[in-house]
Chain A
Amino acid sequence: MKYLKLKSPFKLGTLKYKHITQSIQLSLLIVLIASFFIYNRAGYQGVNILLNAIIAIVVSFIVEVLFAVTAKKFTTIKDLYFKENLLMIPLLTVLLLPLHTPIFVIIIATIVGVWIGKLVFGGYGFSIFNPAIVGVLFANLSFKSQLAMPDGIIYPLQRLKDATANLSIAGLNPHHLLLVDGGYGMAIGTASVGLLILLIVVLSIIRAIDWRISLTYLVTVFGITFVMGKFFFAQEQILTGLVIFGALFLVTDDVTSPTSRETKIVYAVIVGLLTVMIRTIGSNLEGVLFAVLLGNLITPFLNRTVKRSNLISLAKALVFAVIVIVAAGAALNAILEGRIPSELTTIMGVMI
């Protein structure tokens, strides 16, 4: 019998790395398959979704293997799957792009996401930005004409954007939004908001995502828009677009979000604020992707601001959240209603 000298602790908790990453990948697959059925029923070509997903996964696999072989650290495909989370980036990329995306755009977005977003930083766990968002935003900025809406279809979000400019509502049916098409054809993943909310609850219960980030983000978006334009306005803002999808997969991403509870709250509030600002006074239709990217940018700074994780710093973070929600809501309301003197807005260059 051999005696081994090990370091304490001699028992470990039951929640493991692979449980977390596998359950997130599984929920991505669930969302993908659900959108396939929903789009099929609505009369679109739902097969495209599955085709896109398979192509994206194959491309991502090829990129990963090529990188691993050239970097001389390729071990096994099982390792690639369990450690590098092969499915995460391609599935997120597909779910964040619209239905009519050409295949070459999917391929380029996946390559950019996997290679520039993740592998050059050192693999899963080291990236600064959420890799999928890097790829998708690259595609959005580079292939604007290919990703533009086909003639004759006006996505609900465009209507919402027009309505938001004068603080009115677009009149989308909330029950319809919850169950079927999320009011949004611009990203496949938002087909069923109800399913996404269910997944948020389930993943929070099995502790695969951090419910504090999700909840703070949703509360911030809802709170600011509520202060801006009452309940129906806020309801429409939170149920449309990528807000719920972002609260499930993007804001809660472990690698690119801060590490302590105070900074997580501050981070979620800042991302929520940026989301609403881009949506209401920015030029972009959808604010979530840029907001999360900018939030990722300040994550290292946020991590440096905290020293102890005690009740005082938690209280500070909560006070910060409340002040930001109320102040930002009031300020955005004033800007949209034109109550700020026009000289000031023109000098400041606020886009009104």
Chain B
Amino acid sequence: MGKVINIKESRDFLNPDKVYIPLASVNSKYYDLLVYEGDEVKLGEKVAERFGEVKTPIFSSVSGEVIGVEELEYHSGIVVDHLVIKNDKKDTIHEDIKPIEGELTARNIQRKIEELGIKGLAQRGLYTRFEFSKTVDHLFVNAVYQNEPFVKVDPELLSSYQNEIVEGVKLLAKASLAEVSVLVNKNEDDSIYVNEGIKTIKVNPKRIGVWHICAISKAVGKELSHDLLDDRIMFVSSDTARAVYNAVTKGMPVVETDVLVVGDALNSNSHYNIKIGTHVEELVQDLGVIEDTEEVSVYIGSILSGRTMQSTNFACTEFINFIGVDTPMKGEPQVCTKCGRCNDICPVDILPQNVMDAELRMLDNRIFELDVNKCIECGLCSYVCPSEINVLEWVRRAKRRIK
């Protein structure tokens, strides 16, 4: 394992001049705009409705004037329309924002969550969608910070949210009617959850990338399928718990989020509290790029299985909680020595080296036999490869071949 990045700094970036709110999503590019150019909007006002399987409301994260619609890259890699709002820096709250009236029943909480469009705030990976239409037996909340053990965040920076997360987890338990467990880092204090009677599962993030899969699989007592919702498991991040708390107690949609901006091309690394729709270029300028940097790669999500962006020209949404700005790694792939380290580390017990071999020789039956569809694309096989071969890319090709 390489150098661990320790983050000890937290900055607030809550007053950007403009915010760029994405109007489309991965599933649908169509939307219904509810405001016009020049309109005054308030914090938390519904500005648009996104079409898809269900209509998703979109809220303004600042108060100010609508400037127009601009095309920017979205976190899934496609270019979509973004609503640009000029911030008047007053944060006038919209009058519709109020907490749940009456009793906190499961149905009431579910209705509020649906009304405010909180769908689960993880970008990708093992996290599931956040929906109550399916029966769920187990609900796991991930309180281990993103990208452990590569990136470590000082727990004190996050302590201000701790209570919100705990209350959110309790509300989630009430809403989902499932058994709720929280995944916490083995080395950190979990008394805050235990005191409230919430079950915790201690995981060891040193086992790079596989800890959450191992912990969930062990707690449920069976092998996990590709989509955890099929196993009646819901897996959400702690951001979701926080959003649920804000939605239920204040009636506030997700307008603020936190993000890590990390990378060896930056002068310093920091944790940010930001408004939804903050332009990433502003955050990068705030930290400052090291002089004479010629080439950088920008990626979001996790270090092992994140996604590269075209440039820093994109807006930060609730789905992004990690932005990396790195100088590209040097080194070229060597020949595969068939050492089998990828086979050893695979968390879902498939054989990436054998899949790669079968894909090179185009043996469809063999690829099918190797259960390649079980692959969760965690990226560990590429991480451990001593020859620096991108094994995951070969496994993806094999998956595509037998689709």
Contacts and interface: CB of A to CB of B under 8 A. Distances in A.
B337 A261 contact: no
B308 A308 contact: no
Given A1-B296, A6-B308, A125-B335, A261 B351 contact: no
Nearest to A124: B335
A12 B354 CA distance: 21
B340 A15 contact: no
Interface in B309-358: 309-312, 324, 326, 328-329, 331, 334-341, 343-344, 346, 349-351, 353-354, 357
B298 interface: yes
B379 A5 contact: no
B303 A4 contact: no
Interface string A25-64: 0000000000000000000000000000000000000000
Given A10-B326, A259-B338, A309-B343, A15 B393 contact: no
Question: Which residue of A20, A254, A308, A310 has the most chain B CB atoms within 10 A of its CB atom?
Answer: A308
A260 B340 CA distance: 6
A213 to B, nearest CB: 10
B101 interface: no
Interface in B158-201: none
B297 A5 contact: yes
Nearest to A209: B339
A230 interface: no
B299 A308 contact: no
B386 interface: yes
A255 interface: yes
Interface string A164-202: 000000000000000000000000000000000000000
Nearest to B383: A9
A104 to B, nearest CB: 32
B337 A9 contact: no
A66 to B, nearest CB: 21
A16 B329 CA distance: 14
B295 to A, nearest CB: 5
B340 A11 contact: no
A126 interface: yes
A189 B371 CA distance: 44
Contacts of A124: 335, 337
A17 B326 contact: no
Interface residues of B, number: 59
Contacts of B302: 8
B307 A3 contact: no
B373 to A, nearest CB: 12
Interface string B269-305: 0000000000000000000010001111111001111
A307 interface: yes
A321 B30 CA distance: 61
B255 interface: no
A210 B297 contact: no
B1 interface: yes
Given A7-B308, A11-B383, A2 B295 contact: yes
A264 interface: yes
Interface string A98-120: 00000000000000000000000
Nearest to B342: A259
A310 B347 CA distance: 10
Contact of A17 (B297, B299, B329, B386): B386
Contacts of B303: 8-11
Given A2-B295, A8-B304, A260 B351 contact: yes
B390 interface: yes
A309 B353 CA distance: 12
A123 B335 contact: yes
Contacts of A125: 334-338
A258 interface: yes
B1 A14 contact: yes
A6 B382 CA distance: 13
Nearest to A253: B337
A125 B386 CA distance: 13
Nearest to A5: B308
Contacts of B326: 10
B101 to A, nearest CB: 46
Question: Which residue of A3, A126, A264, A304 has the most chain B CB atoms within 10 A of its CB atom?
Answer: A3
Contacts of A5: 297, 308, 310
A16 B388 contact: yes
A1 to B, nearest CB: 6
B329 A12 contact: yes
A152 interface: no
Contacts of B2: 11-14
A19 to B, nearest CB: 7
Nearest to B294: A2
A117 B346 CA distance: 32
Contacts of B104: none
23 contacts: A2-B295, A2-B296, A3-B297, A4-B295, A6-B328, A8-B299, A10-B297, A14-B1, A20-B339, A20-B386, A125-B335, A210-B340, A258-B338, A258-B340, A259-B343, A259-B354, A260-B353, A261-B343, A261-B344, A307-B370, A308-B350, A308-B351, A308-B370
Closest 4 CB pairs of A and B: A125-B335, A259-B340, A310-B349, A254-B339
